[in-house]
């Protein structure tokens, strides 16, 4: 868990080590990156009349149908919340509910063809992000991919 080398969190930047990159700066950069991605995704979704949360739900469903409960867990929100979000997506035909054959309590949410097209279009419409990525070399993209995967994708597995 805790890296034995540089314990830089919660300590001061007064650490004189030249190798230490203060997590304060990195946290600022991560924060700014998140805000930028969030804005880009939100505006790409808005171009289709969809919200950030709706786009997030559609994106998760790309990987296959999922029960309401699992969706809520993945999106880290209350189950009662999913009802409204899926209601609105269903009203637009981007998604539909299907009773589970094995458990009558469960309703599986399935991405429709229109829904798949919408989420693809939203991902393609994140122009700010695509444009930014184009300024990196292949090697840099690969490096970034590796670092972020270790940071956050693995973290998600741990949490779930």
Partner DNA sequence: ATCGAAGGTTGAGGTAGTCAAGTTTCGGGT
Partner DNA sequence: ACCCGAAACTTGACTACCTCAACCTTCGAT
97 binds DNA (CB under 7 A): yes
98 binds DNA (CB under 7 A): no
Binding partner of 48, given DNA, its own copies, none, CB within 5-8 angstroms per partner class:
none
When binding is defined by CB under 8 A, the residue of 13, 27, 79, 117 that contacts its own copies is 27
87 binds its own copies (CB under 8 A): no
φ, ψ of residue 70 in degrees (nearest 5)? -65, -40
46 binds its own copies (CB under 8 A): no
When binding is defined by CB under 8 A, the residue of 31, 69, 103, 114 that contacts its own copies is 31
Site residues, its own copies (CB under 8 A):
1-10, 17, 19-21, 23-27, 29-39, 41, 56, 59, 75-76, 120, 123-124, 126, 128-145, 147-153, 155-156, 159
């Amino acid at each position: 868990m805790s890296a034995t080398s540089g314990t830089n969190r919660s300590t001061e930047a007064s650490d004189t080590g030249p190798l230490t990159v203060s997590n304060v700066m990195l946290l600022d950069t991560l924060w700014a990156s998140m805000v930028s991605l969030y804005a880009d995704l939100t505006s790409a979704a808005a171009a289709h009349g969809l919200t950030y949360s709706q786009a997030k739900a559609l994106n998760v469903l790309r990987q296959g149908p999922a029960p309401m409960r699992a969706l809520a867990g993945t999106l880290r929100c209350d189950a009662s919340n999913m009802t409204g979000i899926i209601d609105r997506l269903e009203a637009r035909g981007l998604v539909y509910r299907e009773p589970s054959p094995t458990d009558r309590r469960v309703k599986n949410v399935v991405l429709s063809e229109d829904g798949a097209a919408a989420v693809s279009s939203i991902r393609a419409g994140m122009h700010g992000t695509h444009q930014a990525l184009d300024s990196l070399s292949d090697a840099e993209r690969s490096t970034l991919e590796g670092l972020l995967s270790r940071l956050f994708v693995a973290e998600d597995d741990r949490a779930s």
